């Protein structure tokens, strides 16, 4: 019982944190204390103070303002790439699950070969093929994580298509598309949402990694990964440059994972039966 309440509390804290983050991203121009790209080299490496609550970086830019603006690219990448991954994954998964064995095998072969690459390596490949930039990063992450969704959706679809109500509906002559949207998709949604929130966390990390490598967000646009990259040479001199963007990434990822875990417990019919 106690474990349940702690988990619940964590869940609400996580939701609250992400809501605040989302609000901050939307309201960035109004709440950020400074212009995130304005350079002031006379005041570089300023330790946290009232004027700069999280200090300044190597160009004298305000770290807090950059983190607030950086949440925009982090969340935007999360939303767009998860949408791409979900859409792609569901289309492929449903087609494979409902189609014949030849379609199924071919699609899954492609998906499995995508899955077999290490994530970052595949991301770098896709980005160097598409070109650098935020849009390309979102596409890359979407493509990379689509096989996870495809595999899951296919497995569920295979199970669902033999359920009594689906077969009954088919016997009545309901068009396939209608069956998909009326009977199959609603049953999948819970798991897709769970997977989505985990993928969201992963995409924040991948975006930060790609920006760290210089392949993602282009300077001077603020991005958490880019901030970490800049901080690398000043770890002793200006530890706040690394600490706060690092915290922002860690907390965001943690919150999405907590939400994902809680939702998977709540929405998983098998766990509920127990």
Partner 1 sequence: MKRMHLWKIAAAVLVLLALAAGTVTANGQPEERVLEFALQGNPDTLDPHKTAGTLTFQTLKSIYDTLVEPDASGKIVPALAEKWEISTDGLSWTFTLRKGVKFHNGDALSSADVKATFERIMNEETASPKVKDYAAIASVETPDEGTVVFKLSEPNSPLLATLGSGWSAILPKSLIDAGHDFANQPVGTGPYRFAEWVRDSRVVLKKNPDYWMKGLPKLDGVNINIITEQTVAVQGLLSGQLDVAYRIDPDSVAQLESSPDTKVETRLTALTLVMSINCSRPDLNDVRVRQAISHAIDKQKVLDTVYGGGKPIGTFMDHDNAYYKDFTDLYPYDPAKARRLLKEAGVGQDRVFELFLPQNYELHVKAGEMYQAMLSEVGMNVQIRLVDWSTWLSDVYKQANYDMTVIGHTGKLDPDGTLGGYGVPERRYVRWDNPRAAQLIEQGAKTAGFENRKVIYDEVLELMAREVPFMFLGSNYEFNAMRNNVYEFRITPKLDTFDFRWTELR
Which residues sit at the interface with partner 1, rule CB under 8 A?
A: 37-39, 41, 44, 58-59, 128, 132, 214-215, 218-220, 232-237
Q: Of all helices (H) and strands (E), which one includes residue 47?
A: none
| 219 DSSP 8-state letter | T
Q: Tell me the β-bridge partners of 56.
A: 62
Q: Which is nearer to partner 1, 46 or 151 (CB)?
A: 46
For residue 192, the SS3 value is: helix
Q: Which is nearer to partner 1, 34 or 183 (CB)?
A: 34
CB of 38 to partner 1, least distance (A): 8
Can you tell me which residue has the tokens 């282009």? 218
CB of 140 to partner 1, least distance (A): 16
249: Cβ–Cβ under 8 A, 6 or more apart, which residues? Answer: 74, 204, 205, 208, 224, 225, 228
CB of 214 to partner 1, least distance (A): 4
| 62 DSSP 8-state letter | B
- Distance between CA atoms of 150 and 142, rounded to whole angstroms? 12
CB of 219 to partner 1, least distance (A): 5
């Amino acid at each position: 019982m106690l474990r349940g309440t702690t988990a619940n509390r964590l869940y609400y804290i996580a939701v609250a944190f992400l809501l605040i983050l989302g609000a901050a991203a939307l309201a960035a121009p109004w709440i950020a204390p400074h212009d995130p790209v304005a350079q002031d080299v006379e005041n570089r490496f300023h330790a946290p103070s009232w004027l700069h609550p999280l200090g300044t970086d190597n160009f004298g830019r305000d770290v807090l303002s950059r983190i607030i603006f950086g949440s925009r690219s982090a969340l935007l990448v999360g939303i767009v790439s998860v949408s791409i991954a979900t859409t792609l994954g569901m289309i492929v998964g449903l087609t494979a699950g409902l189609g014949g064995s030849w379609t199924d095998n071919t699609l899954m072969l492609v998906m499995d070969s995508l899955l077999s690459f290490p994530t970052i390596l595949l991301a770098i490949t896709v980005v160097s093929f598409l070109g650098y930039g935020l849009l390309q990063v979102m596409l890359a992450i979407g493509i990379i994580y689509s096989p996870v969704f495809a595999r899951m959706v296919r497995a569920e679809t295979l199970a669902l298509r033999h359920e009594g109500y689906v077969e009954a509906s088919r016997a009545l002559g309901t068009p396939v598309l209608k069956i998909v949207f009326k009977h199959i998709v609603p049953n999948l949604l819970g798991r897709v949402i769970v997977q989505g929130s985990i993928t969201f966390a992963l995409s924040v990390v991948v975006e930060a990694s790609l920006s760290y490598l210089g392949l993602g967000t282009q300077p001077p646009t603020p991005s958490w990964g880019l901030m970490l990259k800049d901080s690398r040479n000043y770890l002793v001199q200006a530890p706040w440059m690394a600490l706060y963007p690092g915290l922002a990434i860690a907390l965001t990822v943690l919150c999405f994972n907590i939400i994902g875990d809680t939702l998977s417990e709540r929405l998983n019919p098998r766990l509920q039966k127990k």
